[in-house]
């Protein structure tokens, strides 16, 4: 199991549903400013944002590096594939990466990712993504939390230093069968790294032009920045 698959298995225990819906509202509002008939959702998760757009008549495809997330999309009848964007062959009026997707890449990976985004956009296409600010990392993401449902137990410990957030995820899931009347749990554990990226990085890209940025509050004061790019 990859660390992204572990995140997928633990996501419902993190309590991020309300924040996700708020982000979807922000993205939907921005897309209304552009003529979008086709959209690629990179890091699509379980496809909740695609469902919104499909109901508005937009043709959507999702890609995600977690097979668990892609399987969840397919169960809903959504077009989804477990591939890296560099292996995507279609072109789209808009591409989105919602909820810290860019922060999961180091600088070199992000340069390659942004090049791939530009190559997959139609003429005048738009790319929208959000990133964590320093406040988003230091004041929101850093720290510890746990959640115990009885059948599942999640522990998260995150440390932010040297512009990197190292999040240790430990997940226990109860097995289907009980042995000797005692609960038996399967343990999953891994560390996910996220990276802080300065805005100047996004102003010097080939193929994409940063046309707007908006810093806003999701969990805390100015913890997120929305980035909007047009294909050059």
Q: Residue 119: is its pLDDT beyond 90?
A: yes
Q: Residue 84: is its pLDDT beyond 80?
A: yes
Q: Residue 129: is its pLDDT beyond 90?
A: yes
Q: Residue 163: is its pLDDT beyond 70?
A: yes
Q: Which residue has the tokens 């495809």?
A: 61
Residues 135-162 have pLDDT tens digits of: 999 999 999 999 999 999 999 999 999 9
- Per CATH, 3-132+198-231 and 136-195 having the same topology is answered no
Residue 178 Cα distances to 105, 140, 151, 183, angstroms: 40, 38, 12, 5
Residue 95 Cα distances to 14, 64, 112, angstroms: 26, 13, 15
Lowest-confidence segment of 167-171, 180-184, 220-224 by average pLDDT:
180-184
Instruction: Tell me what pLDDT residue 159 has.
Output: 98
Judge residue 137's burial from the number of C-beta atoms within 10 Å of its C-beta, 0-12 exposed, 13-18 middle, 19 or more buried. buried
Instruction: Tell me what pLDDT residue 83 has.
Output: 98
CATH 3.40.50.150 corresponds to the domain 3-132+198-231: yes
Q: Residue 102: is its pLDDT beyond 80?
A: yes
pLDDT band at 120, cuts 50/70/90?
Answer: very high
As a CATH number, domain 136-195 is: 2.20.25
Q: Residue 182: is its pLDDT beyond 70?
A: no
Are residues 44 and 21 in contact, defined by beta-carbon separation less than 8 angstroms?
no
The whole-angstrom separation of Cα 24 and Cα 44 is 12
Residues 34-49 have pLDDT tens digits of: 999 999 999 999 999 9
Give residue limits of the domains in the chain: 3-132+198-231, 136-195
Nearest to 177 by CA among 188, 190, 186: 186
Tokens describing residue 208: 């994409």
Tokens describing residue 49: 């944002």
- Which residues have CB under 8 Å from 96's CB, separation 6+? 27, 31, 39, 40, 41, 42, 49, 127, 128, 129
Residues 170-180 have pLDDT tens digits of: 999 998 755 55
Q: Residue 74: is its pLDDT beyond 70?
A: yes
- Which residues have CB under 8 Å from 61's CB, separation 6+? 39, 40, 41, 50, 79, 80, 81, 90, 92
Among residues of the chain, what percentage have pLDDT more than 90? Answer: 92
Instruction: Tell me what pLDDT residue 138 has.
Output: 95
The whole-angstrom separation of Cα 216 and Cα 207 is 26
Tokens describing residue 50: 């695609």
Instruction: Tell me what pLDDT residue 218 has.
Output: 94
Instruction: Tell me what pLDDT residue 178 has.
Output: 53
Instruction: Tell me what pLDDT residue 175 has.
Output: 83
Are residues 100 and 130 in contact, defined by beta-carbon separation less than 8 angstroms?
yes
pLDDT band at 60, cuts 50/70/90?
Answer: very high
Instruction: Tell me what pLDDT residue 25 has.
Output: 96
Judge residue 115's burial from the number of C-beta atoms within 10 Å of its C-beta, 0-12 exposed, 13-18 middle, 19 or more buried. middle
Instruction: Tell me what pLDDT residue 1 has.
Output: 67
Tokens describing residue 156: 């998260």
The whole-angstrom separation of Cα 97 and Cα 43 is 6
Buried b (16+ CB within 10 A) or exposed e, 183-197: eeeeebebebebbbb
Instruction: Tell me what pLDDT residue 146 has.
Output: 97
């Amino acid at each position: 199991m990859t660390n992204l698959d572990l995140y997928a298995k633990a996501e419902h225990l993190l309590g991020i549903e309300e924040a996700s819906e708020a982000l979807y509202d922000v993205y939907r509002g921005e897309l209304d400013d552009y003529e979008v008939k086709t959209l690629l959702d990179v890091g699509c998760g379980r496809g909740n944002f695609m469902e919104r757009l499909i109901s508005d008549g937009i043709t959507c495809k999702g890609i995600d590096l977690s097979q668990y997330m892609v399987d969840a999309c397919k169960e809903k009848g959504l077009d989804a594939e477990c591939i890296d964007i560099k292996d995507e062959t279609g072109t789209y009026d808009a591409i989105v990466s919602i909820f810290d997707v860019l922060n999961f890449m180091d600088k070199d990976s992000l340069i390659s990712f942004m090049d791939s985004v530009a190559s997959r956009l139609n003429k005048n296409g738009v790319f929208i993504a959000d990133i964590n600010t320093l406040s988003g990392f230091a004041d929101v993401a850093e720290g510890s939390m746990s959640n115990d449902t009885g059948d599942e137990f999640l522990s998260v410990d995150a440390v932010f230093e040297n512009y990197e957030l190292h999040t240790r995820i430990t997940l226990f899931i109860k097995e289907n069968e009980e042995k000797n009347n005692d609960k038996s749990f399967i343990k999953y554990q891994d560390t996910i790294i996220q990276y802080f990226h300065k805005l100047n990085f996004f102003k010097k890209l080939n193929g994409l032009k940063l046309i707007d940025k908006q810093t806003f509050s999701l969990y805390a004061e100015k913890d997120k920045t929305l980035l909007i790019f047009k294909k050059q």
